[in-house]
Chain A
Amino acid sequence: MDLFLAYQSLIAFVGINGLLALSVYATLCCGQLSLANAGFMAIGAYTGALITQHARGVPFVAVLAASALLPAIIAVPLGLPVLRLRGVFLAIATIGFGEMVRLFFVNWDYTNGALGLVAIPQRTHLWTIFLALAGALYLLGRLRGSRAGYALEAIREDETAARTMGIDTTAHKLAMFVLGAAIAGVAGALEAHLTFMVAPSGYGFGRVVDMLVQAVVGGTAAFFGPVIGAAFLTVLPEVLREAGARLGFAPGPFRLFLNGAILLVVILFLPNGLVSLLRRRRAA
């Protein structure tokens, strides 16, 4: 029990990072590399924090719903033009959106600019996080093997062929983009109500790279892969923090170095991510 209390915040971040990795997976599973999710997360976090601070008595469920809804709504007019772009161009355009969101909050005096909002009441519990995570996992898991799930796989494999099978590729890609935005928004609000604060610096380019690395390290061949990757990359630095300190590294750079090194190892030796270890064992 002591151990549980000591690691409570670590466990919370496993869940939040799991949600964020899933939000990237939502677009990745139909072949779209979108990096807008730090921006959507920021919108969700600020939305939630502002509601909690200014409208007392609003139930937390309603706050989370608003934090999912606003990024989802913004994702529609953003997604319609940018999802026409392919590959690296989509990635660049969505990075641009993320930076726009960050700079908007840096310059918005109402939310104290770069300082952000502080003293947000703590309303997030471990069970809230893991309920949200379970919900996202269930949704994405049940999607596989459904008519829409097959359509998404077809889009990932060959978008042109998918179109001539009668699949409305734009609608499917947009739906997943919106779903990813909503998941990222919820994760942002959960984090804001866990750490008491939101600030633009928390939603920069590095944040979305973290999400992507976690999703890829876990593996996107299975819907639960991103969560495994998030858990692995959230826990490992804590385990190795001590080791890093003894070697004389500052904790921040050491974590980044380690993330990079692990990504390299996984891509070289486990191109389908950590989940391929499970598969291999099952096959053996």
Chain B
Amino acid sequence: MTLALQSVSRSFGGVRAVEDATFTVEKGEVHGLIGPNGAGKTTLVNLISGLLQPTQGEIALEGQRIDRLPAHRIAARGVARTYQNIRLFAGLSAAGNVVVGEHLRRRAPLWPRLLLLPSARREERAAAQTALEALARVGLRERAGTAAANLSYGEQRRVEIARALASQPRVLLLDEPTAGMNPNEARNVARLVREVAREGRAVLLIEHNVRLVMELCDRITVLNFGRVIARGGPAEVTKDPAVITAYLGEAE
């Protein structure tokens, strides 16, 4: 068990954005999180990554509670994420963004750099090289020097994935990674997500592209109005009457 949520709730004033959510995401698994707009999917990702604290319930990573830790400590435990509304560091290059993603992995105190020691330069070259490899993995090596703000929408999403992977996370949270991508780009991202899971990472995938979810996910959790309304394999979930009702509405 890698990531475990136990009865997690979060309300904003009177609005219960997430209510009593319980599920686990295992090592090597792609776990789909789906549901209509406003179902609380992004709130859940914010809760796991520590940008929000649950009002009730527990979130644990490999048996240790993380739900009261500040966001940067949760990241240090091995949780990385992307954002639905892309949050790249716009003024930095694509490679620069990925170098920031390497923050947790790097052992680079400032003093060797101030003393102009060669060890500092070696470490920086290695970090830059790792960033290029991460960009190559998402097919953007030749865009390394481009400012993030000047990349296309799909490219920006891919840089975000590379940036998240740069920390070599145990858990990767992907919030609509293929939104706004062309089918070709989306296929490549799907292949990458598979690979990432095969490396032994746990992937939680929020996605609206149903075909992609069905292809990719080992298990799926369906949310509606903040509650888990169904869970199981792709085949089970699509036949679930509660899911059909949630997406298509009640039959008259």
Contact of B72 among A138, A148, A166 (CB under 8 A): A166
Contact with B along A141-177 (1 / 0, CB 8 A): 0110111101101101110111111111100000000
Contact of A161 among B89, B99, B124, B127 (CB under 8 A): B89
Given contacts A153-B96, A164-B49, contact A147 B91 (CB under 8 A): no
B87 near A147: Cβ-Cβ < 8 Å: no
Measured CB to CB, the closest approach of chain A to B104, in angstroms, equals: 4
Q: Can you name 17 A-B residue pairings with CB atoms under 8 Å?
A: A142-B113, A147-B103, A147-B106, A147-B108, A153-B100, A154-B89, A157-B91, A158-B87, A161-B89, A162-B100, A163-B70, A163-B71, A164-B80, A165-B75, A166-B72, A166-B76, A167-B103
Contact with A along B40-72 (1 / 0, CB 8 A): 000000000111000000000000000000111
A146 near B75: Cβ-Cβ < 8 Å: no
Whether a CB of chain A sits under 8 angstroms from the CB of B92 is yes
Q: A residues within 8 A CB of B99?
A: 150
B104 near A161: Cβ-Cβ < 8 Å: no
Measured CB to CB, the closest approach of chain B to A87, in angstroms, equals: 18
Question: Interface extent on B, as a size class?
Answer: 20 to 34
A157 near B92: Cβ-Cβ < 8 Å: yes
How many angstroms between the C-alpha atoms of A162 and B167 in the bound complex? Answer: 13
Residue in A138, A139, A143, A164 whose Cβ sees the most chain B Cβ within 10 Å = A164
B100 near A160: Cβ-Cβ < 8 Å: no
Measured CB to CB, the closest approach of chain B to A222, in angstroms, equals: 13
Whether a CB of chain A sits under 8 angstroms from the CB of B201 is no
Whether a CB of chain A sits under 8 angstroms from the CB of B81 is yes
Whether a CB of chain A sits under 8 angstroms from the CB of B15 is no
Q: A residues within 8 A CB of B163?
A: 165
Residue in A142, A146, A166 whose Cβ sees the most chain B Cβ within 10 Å = A166
Q: A residues within 8 A CB of B192?
A: none
B residues 68-107 near A (Cβ < 8 Å) are: 70-72, 74-76, 80-81, 83, 87-92, 96, 99-101, 103-104, 106
Measured CB to CB, the closest approach of chain A to B171, in angstroms, equals: 12
Whether a CB of chain A sits under 8 angstroms from the CB of B235 is no
Chain A interface, >50% SS class: helix
Q: A residues within 8 A CB of B71?
A: 160, 163-164
Other 12 A-B pairs with CB < 8 A, given A146-B108, A161-B89, A165-B103: A139-B114, A142-B114, A146-B124, A147-B110, A150-B96, A151-B103, A154-B100, A163-B71, A164-B71, A165-B75, A166-B72, A169-B72
Number of interface residues of A (CB under 8 A): 25
A164 near B104: Cβ-Cβ < 8 Å: no
Contact of A150 among B70, B72, B103 (CB under 8 A): B103
Given contacts A142-B113, A151-B100, A153-B96, contact A166 B87 (CB under 8 A): no
Q: B residues within 8 A CB of A160?
A: 51, 71, 87
The 3 A-B pairs of least Cβ separation, nearest first, read A166-B75, A157-B89, A166-B104
Q: B residues within 8 A CB of A139?
A: 114
B51 near A165: Cβ-Cβ < 8 Å: no
How many angstroms between the C-alpha atoms of A147 and B91 in the bound complex? Answer: 16
Q: B residues within 8 A CB of A163?
A: 50-51, 70-72, 75
Q: A residues within 8 A CB of B124?
A: 145-146
How many angstroms between the C-alpha atoms of A96 and B114 in the bound complex? Answer: 35
How many angstroms between the C-alpha atoms of A145 and B74 in the bound complex? Answer: 25
**Which residue of chain B is the closest to A147 with respect to CB atoms?**
B108
B100 near A150: Cβ-Cβ < 8 Å: yes
Measured CB to CB, the closest approach of chain B to A223, in angstroms, equals: 14
Contact of B101 among A146, A158, A165, A168 (CB under 8 A): A165
How many angstroms between the C-alpha atoms of A139 and B113 in the bound complex? Answer: 10
